[in-house]
Protein backbone atom coordinates (compact mmCIF):
# COMPACT_ATOMS: atom_id res chain seq x y z
CA UNK A 1 0.00 0.00 0.00
CA UNK A 2 1.30 3.45 -0.97
CA UNK A 3 0.78 6.62 1.06
CA UNK A 4 0.02 9.58 -1.21
CA UNK A 5 -0.49 13.20 -0.24
CA UNK A 6 -2.56 15.26 -2.70
CA UNK A 7 -2.16 19.04 -2.68
CA UNK A 8 -5.11 20.64 -4.41
CA UNK A 9 -7.17 17.58 -3.55
CA UNK A 10 -10.42 19.54 -3.32
CA UNK A 11 -10.21 20.91 -6.88
CA UNK A 12 -11.60 19.32 -10.03
CA UNK A 13 -8.60 17.16 -10.95
CA UNK A 14 -7.31 16.73 -7.41
CA UNK A 15 -10.62 15.40 -6.12
CA UNK A 16 -10.71 12.91 -9.01
CA UNK A 17 -7.16 11.78 -8.20
CA UNK A 18 -8.05 11.34 -4.53
CA UNK A 19 -11.07 9.21 -5.40
CA UNK A 20 -9.04 7.12 -7.85
CA UNK A 21 -6.20 6.48 -5.42
CA UNK A 22 -8.52 5.72 -2.50
CA UNK A 23 -10.56 3.44 -4.74
CA UNK A 24 -7.42 1.44 -5.49
CA UNK A 25 -6.93 0.88 -1.77
CA UNK A 26 -4.08 3.29 -1.08
CA UNK A 27 -3.70 5.67 1.85
CA UNK A 28 -4.57 9.19 0.69
CA UNK A 29 -4.01 12.44 2.56
CA UNK A 30 -5.66 15.63 1.29
CA UNK A 31 -3.69 18.77 2.07
CA UNK A 32 -5.75 21.89 2.83
CA UNK A 33 -5.72 24.63 5.43
CA UNK A 34 -9.21 23.69 6.66
CA UNK A 35 -11.16 20.43 6.74
CA UNK A 36 -12.91 20.12 3.35
CA UNK A 37 -16.46 18.76 3.03
CA UNK A 38 -17.22 15.44 1.40
CA UNK A 39 -13.86 13.70 1.19
CA UNK A 40 -13.98 10.38 -0.69
CA UNK A 41 -14.12 7.26 1.45
CA UNK A 42 -10.63 6.25 2.55
CA UNK A 43 -9.15 9.76 2.31
CA UNK A 44 -8.09 11.79 5.35
CA UNK A 45 -7.54 15.51 5.79
CA UNK A 46 -4.04 16.78 6.60
CA UNK A 47 -3.62 20.47 7.52
CA UNK A 48 -1.02 22.62 5.82
CA UNK A 49 -0.60 25.97 4.07
CA UNK A 50 1.14 26.03 0.69
CA UNK A 51 1.72 29.77 0.52
CA UNK A 52 3.33 30.06 3.96
CA UNK A 53 4.75 26.54 4.24
CA UNK A 54 3.18 26.04 7.66
CA UNK A 55 2.54 22.39 8.50
CA UNK A 56 3.93 20.98 5.26
CA UNK A 57 6.80 18.97 6.74
CA UNK A 58 4.48 17.28 9.23
CA UNK A 59 1.91 16.67 6.48
CA UNK A 60 4.53 14.92 4.34
CA UNK A 61 5.93 12.71 7.09
CA UNK A 62 5.71 9.08 5.97
CA UNK A 63 4.45 9.99 2.48
CA UNK A 64 5.69 7.90 -0.45
CA UNK A 65 4.45 10.11 -3.29
CA UNK A 66 3.30 13.73 -3.42
CA UNK A 67 0.71 14.74 -6.03
CA UNK A 68 0.24 18.45 -6.73
CA UNK A 69 -2.96 19.40 -8.53
CA UNK A 70 -3.16 22.94 -7.20
CA UNK A 71 -4.91 25.72 -9.10
CA UNK A 72 -4.84 29.49 -8.79
CA UNK A 73 -6.97 31.24 -11.39
CA UNK A 74 -7.04 34.65 -9.74
CA UNK A 75 -4.20 37.08 -9.16
CA UNK A 76 -4.60 36.63 -5.42
CA UNK A 77 -4.35 32.84 -5.53
CA UNK A 78 -1.72 32.51 -8.28
CA UNK A 79 1.25 32.36 -5.84
CA UNK A 80 0.08 28.83 -5.01
CA UNK A 81 1.89 27.79 -8.20
CA UNK A 82 5.20 29.49 -7.45
CA UNK A 83 5.54 30.08 -3.70
CA UNK A 84 3.51 26.92 -3.14
CA UNK A 85 5.85 24.85 -5.31
CA UNK A 86 8.94 26.18 -3.57
CA UNK A 87 7.46 25.43 -0.15
CA UNK A 88 6.37 21.95 -1.18
CA UNK A 89 9.78 21.15 -2.67
CA UNK A 90 11.55 22.31 0.50
CA UNK A 91 9.17 20.38 2.75
CA UNK A 92 9.44 17.24 0.61
CA UNK A 93 13.23 17.39 0.88
CA UNK A 94 13.09 17.79 4.65
CA UNK A 95 10.50 15.00 5.03
CA UNK A 96 12.43 12.64 2.76
CA UNK A 97 9.80 12.42 0.04
CA UNK A 98 11.57 11.40 -3.15
CA UNK A 99 8.76 11.24 -5.72
CA UNK A 100 6.18 13.73 -6.94
CA UNK A 101 3.56 14.08 -9.65
CA UNK A 102 2.65 17.55 -10.94
CA UNK A 103 -0.45 18.44 -12.94
CA UNK A 104 0.12 20.96 -15.74
CA UNK A 105 -1.38 21.98 -19.10
CA UNK A 106 -0.53 20.96 -22.66
CA UNK A 107 1.26 23.85 -24.37
CA UNK A 108 1.69 25.82 -21.15
CA UNK A 109 5.14 27.01 -22.20
CA UNK A 110 3.96 28.12 -25.65
CA UNK A 111 1.66 30.97 -24.68
CA UNK A 112 2.60 33.95 -22.55
CA UNK A 113 -0.05 35.20 -20.18
CA UNK A 114 0.00 35.36 -16.40
CA UNK A 115 -1.86 32.12 -15.61
CA UNK A 116 0.18 29.98 -18.01
CA UNK A 117 3.41 31.75 -17.02
CA UNK A 118 2.85 30.85 -13.36
CA UNK A 119 2.19 27.20 -14.21
CA UNK A 120 5.27 27.07 -16.45
CA UNK A 121 7.34 28.49 -13.57
CA UNK A 122 5.87 25.80 -11.32
CA UNK A 123 7.10 23.17 -13.79
CA UNK A 124 10.60 24.67 -13.74
CA UNK A 125 10.70 24.69 -9.93
CA UNK A 126 9.80 21.00 -9.72
CA UNK A 127 12.07 20.00 -12.61
CA UNK A 128 15.04 21.68 -10.92
CA UNK A 129 14.35 20.07 -7.54
CA UNK A 130 15.91 16.99 -5.99
CA UNK A 131 12.51 15.27 -6.05
CA UNK A 132 11.96 12.79 -8.88
CA UNK A 133 8.99 14.39 -10.61
CA UNK A 134 6.58 13.30 -13.32
CA UNK A 135 4.82 16.26 -14.93
CA UNK A 136 1.40 15.30 -16.33
CA UNK A 137 0.29 17.86 -18.89
CA UNK A 138 -3.41 17.66 -19.67
CA UNK A 139 -5.67 19.21 -22.28
CA UNK A 140 -8.68 21.28 -21.20
CA UNK A 141 -11.31 19.61 -19.02
CA UNK A 142 -14.89 18.98 -20.09
CA UNK A 143 -15.88 21.09 -17.09
CA UNK A 144 -14.07 24.16 -18.44
CA UNK A 145 -15.72 24.14 -21.85
CA UNK A 146 -19.11 23.40 -20.33
CA UNK A 147 -18.72 26.34 -17.95
CA UNK A 148 -17.75 28.66 -20.83
CA UNK A 149 -20.81 27.66 -22.83
CA UNK A 150 -23.16 27.77 -19.85
CA UNK A 151 -22.00 31.23 -18.87
CA UNK A 152 -22.33 32.66 -22.37
CA UNK A 153 -25.70 30.95 -22.92
CA UNK A 154 -27.17 33.22 -20.24
CA UNK A 155 -26.90 36.09 -22.72
CA UNK A 156 -28.09 33.97 -25.65
CA UNK A 157 -24.84 33.04 -27.39
CA UNK A 158 -22.38 30.15 -27.50
CA UNK A 159 -18.86 31.35 -28.39
CA UNK A 160 -16.96 29.46 -31.08
CA UNK A 161 -13.47 30.81 -31.61
CA UNK A 162 -12.74 30.62 -35.33
CA UNK A 163 -10.15 28.00 -36.16
CA UNK A 164 -9.95 26.76 -32.56
CA UNK A 165 -9.97 23.06 -31.79
CA UNK A 166 -10.04 21.36 -28.44
CA UNK A 167 -9.37 17.87 -27.14
CA UNK A 168 -11.38 17.97 -23.91
CA UNK A 169 -10.86 15.33 -21.26
CA UNK A 170 -13.03 14.15 -18.37
CA UNK A 171 -11.78 15.05 -14.88
CA UNK A 172 -12.06 11.38 -13.90
CA UNK A 173 -9.64 10.48 -16.70
CA UNK A 174 -7.20 13.14 -15.48
CA UNK A 175 -7.49 11.75 -11.97
CA UNK A 176 -6.69 8.30 -13.34
CA UNK A 177 -3.63 9.67 -15.15
CA UNK A 178 -2.36 11.30 -11.97
CA UNK A 179 -2.91 8.08 -10.02
CA UNK A 180 -1.16 6.02 -12.70
CA UNK A 181 1.85 8.35 -12.56
CA UNK A 182 1.92 8.29 -8.76
CA UNK A 183 1.89 4.49 -8.62
CA UNK A 184 4.21 3.81 -11.56
CA UNK A 185 7.43 1.93 -10.95
CA UNK A 186 9.49 4.94 -12.02
CA UNK A 187 9.07 8.63 -12.78
CA UNK A 188 8.51 9.53 -16.41
CA UNK A 189 9.77 13.09 -16.65
CA UNK A 190 6.89 14.58 -18.59
CA UNK A 191 3.82 12.98 -20.15
CA UNK A 192 0.80 14.39 -21.96
CA UNK A 193 -2.81 13.24 -21.79
CA UNK A 194 -5.75 14.34 -23.88
CA UNK A 195 -9.34 13.43 -24.49
CA UNK A 196 -10.50 10.81 -26.98
CA UNK A 197 -11.61 13.31 -29.64
CA UNK A 198 -10.34 16.49 -31.27
CA UNK A 199 -13.18 18.79 -32.34
CA UNK A 200 -13.68 22.38 -33.39
CA UNK A 201 -15.04 24.74 -30.78
CA UNK A 202 -18.05 25.25 -33.06
CA UNK A 203 -18.83 21.52 -33.04
CA UNK A 204 -18.37 21.36 -29.28
CA UNK A 205 -20.75 24.31 -28.86
CA UNK A 206 -23.31 22.56 -31.04
CA UNK A 207 -22.94 19.41 -28.94
CA UNK A 208 -23.48 21.38 -25.75
CA UNK A 209 -26.53 23.07 -27.26
CA UNK A 210 -28.07 19.78 -28.39
CA UNK A 211 -27.52 17.90 -25.15
CA UNK A 212 -28.63 20.74 -22.87
CA UNK A 213 -31.54 21.85 -25.05
CA UNK A 214 -30.24 25.42 -25.07
CA UNK A 215 -31.67 27.95 -27.51
CA UNK A 216 -28.50 30.05 -27.55
CA UNK A 217 -26.99 30.90 -30.92
CA UNK A 218 -23.56 29.55 -31.83
CA UNK A 219 -21.49 32.61 -32.68
CA UNK A 220 -18.13 32.51 -34.46
CA UNK A 221 -15.61 34.87 -32.90
CA UNK A 222 -12.14 35.93 -34.00
CA UNK A 223 -9.34 35.92 -31.44
CA UNK A 224 -6.41 38.11 -32.53
CA UNK A 225 -2.79 37.98 -31.51
CA UNK A 226 -0.86 35.23 -29.75
CA UNK A 227 -3.87 33.52 -28.13
CA UNK A 228 -5.56 33.17 -31.51
CA UNK A 229 -2.43 31.74 -33.13
CA UNK A 230 -1.97 29.36 -30.20
CA UNK A 231 -5.44 27.89 -30.76
CA UNK A 232 -5.41 27.94 -34.57
CA UNK A 233 -2.06 26.13 -34.61
CA UNK A 234 -3.37 23.45 -32.24
CA UNK A 235 -0.75 24.02 -29.57
CA UNK A 236 -3.36 23.08 -26.96
CA UNK A 237 -3.74 19.60 -28.48
CA UNK A 238 -1.96 16.27 -28.08
CA UNK A 239 -3.72 13.99 -30.60
CA UNK A 240 -1.03 11.32 -30.30
CA UNK A 241 -1.82 10.98 -26.56
CA UNK A 242 -5.54 10.16 -26.45
CA UNK A 243 -5.57 8.93 -22.88
CA UNK A 244 -9.13 9.93 -22.03
CA UNK A 245 -12.03 7.56 -22.67
CA UNK A 246 -15.07 9.80 -22.09
CA UNK A 247 -16.21 12.09 -24.90
CA UNK A 248 -17.63 15.56 -24.30
CA UNK A 249 -21.09 14.43 -25.42
CA UNK A 250 -21.09 11.36 -23.16
CA UNK A 251 -19.87 13.41 -20.20
CA UNK A 252 -22.59 16.03 -20.71
CA UNK A 253 -25.28 13.39 -21.12
CA UNK A 254 -24.22 11.54 -17.98
CA UNK A 255 -24.00 14.76 -16.01
CA UNK A 256 -27.56 15.69 -16.95
CA UNK A 257 -28.77 12.17 -16.16
CA UNK A 258 -27.27 12.31 -12.69
CA UNK A 259 -28.81 15.73 -12.16
CA UNK A 260 -32.20 14.33 -13.09
CA UNK A 261 -32.63 16.42 -16.25
Kindly report, residue by residue over 42-77, the tens digit of the pLDDT: 899 999 999 999 999 999 999 999 999 999 989 899
Domain boundaries, the chain: 3-259
Angstrom CA distances, 181 to 20, 41, 254, stand at 12, 21, 27
Which pLDDT score is estimated for 40? 80
For residue 170, what are the contacts with CB-CB under 8 A and spacing of at least 6? 141, 142, 195, 244, 245, 246, 251
Please state the separation of Cα 169 from the chain's center in Å. 10
The answer to whether 195 and 251 are in contact (CB under 8 A) is no
- Average the pLDDT over 102-125 and give the result: 96
pLDDT range class, residue 261, cuts 50, 70, 90: low
- The DSSP call for residue 141 is B
Helix (H) or strand (E) holding 116: helix 114-127
- What is the Cα–Cα distance from 127 to 259, expressed in whole angstroms? 41
First-last CA distance in the chain: 40
What CATH topology corresponds to 3-259?
Answer: Rossmann fold (3.40.50)
**Tens of pLDDT along 131-154?**
999 999 999 999 999 999 999 999
| 99, β-bridge pairs | 65, 132
| 132, β-bridge pairs | 99
Whole-number percent of the chain with pLDDT over 70: 100
**Tens of pLDDT along 165-204?**
999 999 999 999 999 999 998 888 999 999 999 999 999 9
Q: Which among 144, 131, 238, 248 is positioned nearest to 194, based on CA atoms?
A: 238
DSSP letter string over 37-55? Answer: SSPPTTEEEEE--TTT-TT
Q: Which among 2, 173, 37 is positioned nearest to 103, based on CA atoms?
A: 173
Amino acid sequence: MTTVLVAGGTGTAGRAAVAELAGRGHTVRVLTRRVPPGLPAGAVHTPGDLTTGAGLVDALAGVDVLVSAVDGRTKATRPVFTDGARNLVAAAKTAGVRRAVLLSIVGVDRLSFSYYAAIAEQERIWAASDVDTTIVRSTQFHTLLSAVFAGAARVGVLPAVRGARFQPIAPADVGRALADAALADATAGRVEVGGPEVASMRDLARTWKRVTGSRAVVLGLPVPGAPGRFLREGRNLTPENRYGTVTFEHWLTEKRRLAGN
